[in-house]
């Protein structure tokens, strides 16, 4: 994290930048996480604080990211901070260190675990309907063994993902859900959903690349989901550390 904040009288001065920020081009307010700089020395992770920055504040810019081929309906941009001054009241008082941003990440990651299954189900249901109605050599392709195998695999992965997420949701309600379990749900469900989208695209044949069907759109979007809120590989290392006690980062 290169963004830093230094105290200036009764306020703070922010400098730095953030990339891949959803809604940055039009958001009215941004929550910016920054390390605190004291005596020209930028602190470590323990110094991280959160700040509210209003649009229109001098030095606050949000250029749009162009050319995306995934999550194209989402306005994504950058946040650039050049000597941005915010009052003391814009400092989040209870968020200190990595606990603040990581708490947000855990909430987002668990939501993604569910959302990915929604994309997977849309692809699966579209594939089932298509295979029932697509006739080849006088019979629906749904009557073919290899097609049924693919559909059964897709349905099985969706069912397992739903059971996993439901179990973890019940733990969450009890305050017992660990960050490692959130990583497990995000990693498993997104990986399964991406594979299901690709399977559906293949079953749809050439039609699979058309926007008339949901497979290619979800497949492209899930490529981003596979990466954001912790990459698949990062969640692998989180779980590996939890299982072995050895840090492989």
* 189 neighbors 158 (Cβ within 8 angstroms): no
* CA–CA distance, 136 with 127 (Å, rounded to integer): 15
Task: With CA atoms as reference, report the closest residue to 52 among 91, 15, 94.
Answer: 91
Cβ neighbours, 10 Å, residue 107: 12
Catalytic residue among 153, 162, 173, 229: 229
Which residues are within 8 A (CB) of 221 and not within 5 positions of it... i.e. 6 or more apart? 70, 71, 119
Six token digits for residue 171: 């733990």
- DSSP secondary structure, 157-210, as one string: HHHHHHHHHHHHHHHHHTT---HHHHHHHHHHHHHHHHHHHHHHHHHTGGGGGS
173 catalytic residue (yes or no): no
150-163: buried (b, 16+ CB within 10 Å) or exposed (e) per residue?
A: bbeebeebbeebee
Output Rg (C-alpha) for the chain, integer angstroms.
22
Which residues are within 8 A (CB) of 5 and not within 5 positions of it... i.e. 6 or more apart? 12, 13, 14, 15, 34, 35, 36, 37, 49, 51
The residues annotated as belonging to the active site are 229
């Amino acid at each position: 994290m290169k963004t830093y904040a230094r105290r200036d009288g009764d306020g703070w001065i922010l400098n730095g930048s953030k990339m891949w920020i959803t809604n940055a081009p039009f958001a009215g307010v941004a929550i910016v996480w920054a390390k605190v700089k004291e005596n020209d020395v930028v602190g470590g992770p323990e110094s991280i604080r959160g700040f509210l920055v209003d649009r229109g504040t001098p030095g606050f810019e949000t250029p749009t990211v162009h050319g995306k081929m995934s999550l194209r309906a989402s306005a994504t941009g950058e946040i650039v901070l050049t000597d941005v001054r915010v009052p003391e009241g814009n400092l989040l008082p209870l968020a200190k260190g990595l606990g603040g941003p990581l708490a947000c990440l855990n909430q987002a990651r668990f939501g993604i675990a569910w959302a990915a299954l929604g994309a997977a189900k849309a692809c699966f249901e579209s594939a089932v309907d298509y295979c029932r109605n697509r006739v080849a050599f006088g019979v629906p392709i749904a009557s073919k063994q290899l097609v049924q195998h693919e559909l059964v695999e897709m349905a099985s992965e969706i069912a397992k993902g739903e059971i996993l997420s439901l179990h973890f949701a019940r733990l969450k309600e009890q305050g017992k859900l660990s960050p490692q379990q959130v990583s497990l749900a995000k990693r498993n469900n997104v990986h399964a959903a991406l594979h299901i989208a690709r399977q559906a695209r293949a079953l749809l044949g050439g039609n699979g690349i058309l926007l008339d069907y949901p497979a290619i759109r979800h497949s492209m979007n899930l490529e981003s989901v596979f990466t954001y809120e912790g990459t698949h590989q990062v969640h692998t290392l989180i779980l590996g550390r939890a299982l072995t006690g050895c840090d492989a980062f």
